[in-house]
Structure 1
Amino acid sequence: MDRYRFILSGGGTGGHIYPAIAIANELKKRHPDAEFLFVGAKDKMEMEKVPQAGYKIKGLWISGIQRKLTLKNLMFPLKLISSLLGARKIVKQFKPDVAIGTGGFASGPLLRMAAGAGIPCVLQEQNSFAGITNKLLAGKAKKICVAYDAMERFFPKEKIVKTGNPVRMDLVDLKSDKAEALDFFGLDKGKQTVLILGGSLGARRINQLIEKELEFFQNMGLQVLWQCGKLYYEDYKKYNSDTVKVLAFVNRMDLAYIASDVIISRAGAGSVSELCLVGKPVIFIPSPNVAEDHQTQNAQALVSKNAALMLKENELDQEFEASFSKLMESSKIQNELSENIKKLAMPKATEHIVDEIEKLLK
């Protein structure tokens, strides 16, 4: 049997890194003696997260273009040339059978050089609005795995396969019971629970909102499980109480989802895919500070199917309490959102992506 070699690249944020790791894990399950190499951007979080997952990684000197004129932008052509040369060397030495890109700056030079060397390339696009790196690479890819409809706006139609986004396996089958989950966080079994998710680093605007609305939640008889992010934990831990649990990071995400009745969340692609599996009523508060405002587009894709609610950051002061009260007072709205979001779940996404990769193995 051939010993396959897979090269993967994606990074800058968890949203690009975790899908790449999930794909590698599934490939490893099917081809236990395959060799894997990740390629990332030198100073980004993939350099830490990928080795933690048990894979080797090499770093390129690359970063994105800033939206305003900065010194970093003047360095960009130099970094691009350096990273293209670095990527060419890595491809030549490693000789992969397939190259897989999940978005982020580093995947650009790597997949460009892999395609140039005749290696079949697969792209995975997590968002409903395609990222710039994947749009630039689309012409070179054999297959593009997407999570949303209408992606032919960005990519050649004949290359697109709708697979969904890879999600953590412990969320595909939420097994624990609710009482156990509430116990784990020290929450009351007699109260409804609001889960707040601002991403691993936290979301300043969501945290400010929750701080302001704690009394409002209390008056409604609700308890709050608040993942405020490690950047903000010191500011908000003072609110810890019987009915408010403040966490820097949630280690048992499965239990947090089971414990919750309603979820307030950012709309990163990974979060959206997970929340479809979880099937609880969700209010999305998209981050306006991301490339091409893709979180708003991700949330909008669900809102248009009556599968979630969305509030923009600039609407929170005026509209949050009214929208939230309306949701909590109507079990009909809660049930509709729950049923509709579940219909969008794609629990076998990772397997389907790897099926597409296997078709390209010689």
Structure 2
Amino acid sequence: MKNYKFILSGGGTGGHIYPAIAIANELKVHYPDCEILFVGAKDKMEMQKVPQAGYPIKGLWISGLQRKLTLQNLMFPVKVIDSLLKSFRIIRSFQPDVVIGTGGFASGPLLKVAAMMNIPIVVQEQNSYPGITNKILSKKASVICVAYENLERFFPKDKIKITGNPVREDLISIESKKWDALTYFTLDATQKTLLVLGGSLGSRRINQLIAKEIDFITSQNIQVIWQCGKLYFEEYIHFARPNVKVVSFIDRMDLVYAAADFIISRAGASSVSELCLVGKPVIFIPSPNVAEDHQTKNAKAIEDKKGAVLLKENELDEKFEAVFSNLVNDEIKQNELGSQILKLAKPNATIDIVKEISKLLKK
């Protein structure tokens, strides 16, 4: 078998990095002797997370445009040119058979250059509403792997494959891990557990909500695991007590999902895909401060299938307590949400994406 080479590019947030790592791991299963290189943005979290997963990574000098006039925006054209030139050097040196982009700043220049060099490119779009980078790249892509239906509005229909989003393999069967999870997080088995997730970097608005409502939540015989994000840890650690675990980051997502009875979460694409697999009652609080408001669209796609509750940030003060009380006191509602969101899971997403990549190798 040929010693295939793959470049994967995606980063900026965990939502782009972890799918790329999952695809890389599955490529290694199919092609044990393959060579894999990651390309990311120099100052973003992928420069730490990818090497921790065991893969080499090269960084590009690239960042997104700000919404106001800044020095960073004035430098953007220079960064793009620099990143295109470095991408050309990386591709010419590594000679990949396929280049795969999972979104983020660095994937734009890299996949653009790969397409110019006639190397097959695969775009993996995680959201129900694509960002501008993937819309542009889609015209040159060989395959576009998506997680949501009805994306023909944005991408060439004949290139779309509905695969779902890659997720951590250890989330596929968490039911058997409940007791291990309770021990790991030193939780009380007689209480229900609320898991609060603000995304890999944390969410200021969700943290503010939980700080305000923590006494209300715990008064209902509920204990809390609160992932506040490393940027906010020092600000909120003083809320910790035996029935409130405040953490900056969670390494064992399989155990924390196994421990949870209810979940409050942002609606980034990777989080939504994981929560579909987990099959627990979820309240989505989407961030309104993301491109094209795609988190709200992600959450709405689940709510429309009766798989989750959607609360917008501007509704929290008025509606949170009533919505939360109704959920925790209604077992029928809990079971319905859990079973409906589980129906939307795509546990074979990573395998299906690698199958599409394999087809390109045979052409």
Question: What TM-score, normalized to structure 2?
Answer: 0.97
- Secondary structure of the residue that 1:152 maps to in structure 2? coil
Query: Residues 56-100 of structure 1, C-alpha deviation per residue, up to 9 Å, x if partnerless?
Result: 111112111222222222211111111111111211111111111
Equivalent position of 1:215 in the other structure: 215
Equivalent position of 2:34 in the other structure: 34
Take 2:2 and 2:278, find their aligned partners in 1: how far apart are those partners? 39
Equivalent position of 1:299 in the other structure: 299
**Which sits farther off after the overlay, 131-140 or 49-58?**
49-58
The residue identity in structure 2 corresponding to 1:202 is: G
- Secondary structure of the residue that 2:315 maps to in structure 1? helix
Aligned pairs (5 A) from 1:1-362: 1-362=1-362
Identity of counterpart residues, as a percentage? Answer: 67
Take 2:145 and 2:27, find their aligned partners in 1: how far apart are those partners? 16
The residue identity in structure 1 corresponding to 2:61 is: W
Take 1:263 and 1:330, find their aligned partners in 2: how far apart are those partners? 15
Whether the aligned pair in 2 keeps the contact of 1:176 and 1:255 (CA below 8 Å) is no
The residue identity in structure 2 corresponding to 1:269 is: A
Take 2:169 and 2:4, find their aligned partners in 1: how far apart are those partners? 24
What displacement does 1:200 show? 2.3
Query: Residues 235-281 of structure 1, C-alpha deviation per residue, up to 9 Å, x if partnerless?
Result: 22222222211122222211111111110011111110000011000
Q: CA RMSD in A?
A: 1.2
Residues 60/218 of structure 1: CA separation in 2 closer, same or farther (3 Å cut): closer
Structure 1: unaligned runs, 5 residues or longer: none
Query: Residues 280-327 of structure 1, C-alpha deviation per residue, up to 9 Å, x if partnerless?
Result: 000001111111111111101101111000111111100000111111
Structure 2: unaligned runs, 5 residues or longer: none
**Which sits farther off after the overlay, 305-314 or 80-89?**
80-89
- Secondary structure of the residue that 1:140 maps to in structure 2? coil
Whether the aligned pair in 1 keeps the contact of 2:6 and 2:97 (CA below 8 Å) is yes
Moved >2 Å (runs of 4+): 175-180
- Secondary structure of the residue that 2:25 maps to in structure 1? helix
- Secondary structure of the residue that 2:224 maps to in structure 1? strand
Query: Residues 16-52 of structure 1, C-alpha deviation per residue, up to 9 Å, x if partnerless?
Result: 1111111111111111111111111122111221111
Take 1:191 and 1:46, find their aligned partners in 2: how far apart are those partners? 37
The residue identity in structure 2 corresponding to 1:273 is: S
Take 1:49 and 1:178, find their aligned partners in 2: how far apart are those partners? 27
Question: What TM-score, normalized to structure 1?
Answer: 0.97
What displacement does 1:186 show? 1.4
The residue identity in structure 1 corresponding to 2:46 is: E
Whether the aligned pair in 2 keeps the contact of 1:277 and 1:346 (CA below 8 Å) is yes
The residue identity in structure 2 corresponding to 1:46 is: E
Whether the aligned pair in 2 keeps the contact of 1:281 and 1:334 (CA below 8 Å) is yes
What displacement does 1:184 show? 1.9
The residue identity in structure 2 corresponding to 1:9 is: S
